[in-house]
Chains A and B, each alone.
Chain A
Amino acid sequence: MPAQVEAFAWETSLDRGKQLAATGKPVLIDFSAAPV
């Protein structure tokens, strides 16, 4: 099965996501049973 293609890349660290959100964007946290 081919890898799923998405137009965005998931961050896998919430701390990193919060750092990126310092620009004013909200963080979308997807809690999942499946890895990226």
Chain B
Amino acid sequence: MDTVTYPDPRVADFIEKLVVPVRIVIRDNRDLANEYLVSWTPNVVIADERGRVHFRIEGYLPPVEFVARLSLGVGKFDLNRGKFNDAAARFEEVSRRHAKTDAGAEALYWLAVTHFKKDHNVADLKSGWEQLAREYPDSEWTVRTKIPHKS
């Protein structure tokens, strides 16, 4: 990550503008690493001002894929805090910039959830997940929309 991903201008620009970056060296902070359930690196957490985890990225990712995951993380952070317009803008951007990728599929999933959480309109959730199924029929995120109903 330090060799390629973090020095990449796209990654650095995203971090500079949108998050507070903290580097925790595990050998000097074993208790903290245990508290955050870090059993493997790279291990990146998106957290709030109380340290609560909103999103996690495990394993190496190259710059474009890392920015996509970070964007999803910031979107989840906003969604969890009820900042629905900000979350929707973030998920829309990921779905557009990272179309045809796993991140694009996940973005469409959470975009539909965000619209639903904002207005509690089931039609928004349904139409958003239908778009996901059309564009990503083989994605696990599409599978996650197929909620069985009691007969």
Contacts and interface: CB of A to CB of B under 8 A. Distances in A.
Contact of A28 (B21, B38, B50): B21
Interface in A1-36: 4-14, 16-22, 25-36
A8 to B, nearest CB: 4
Given A4-B2, A27-B22, A31-B36, A18 B50 contact: yes
A28 B71 CA distance: 11
Contacts of B24: 12, 14, 29-32
B23 A30 contact: yes
Say whether chain B's binding surface is mostly helix, strand, loop, or mixed.
mixed
A8 B103 CA distance: 25
B47 interface: yes
A18 B51 contact: yes
A18 to B, nearest CB: 5
Contacts of B27: 33
Interface residues of B, number: 40
Interface stretch (B4-12, B109-117, B127-135): B4-12
Given A4-B2, A18-B51, A28 B12 contact: no
Contacts of B54: 26
Most chain B beta-carbon contacts within 10 A, residue among A10, A12, A17, A30: A30
B46 A28 contact: yes
B15 A28 contact: yes
Task: Please name the 6 residue pairs, one residue from A and one from B, whose CB atoms are nearest each other, closest first.
Answer: A17-B22, A7-B12, A10-B23, A21-B49, A28-B19, A29-B45
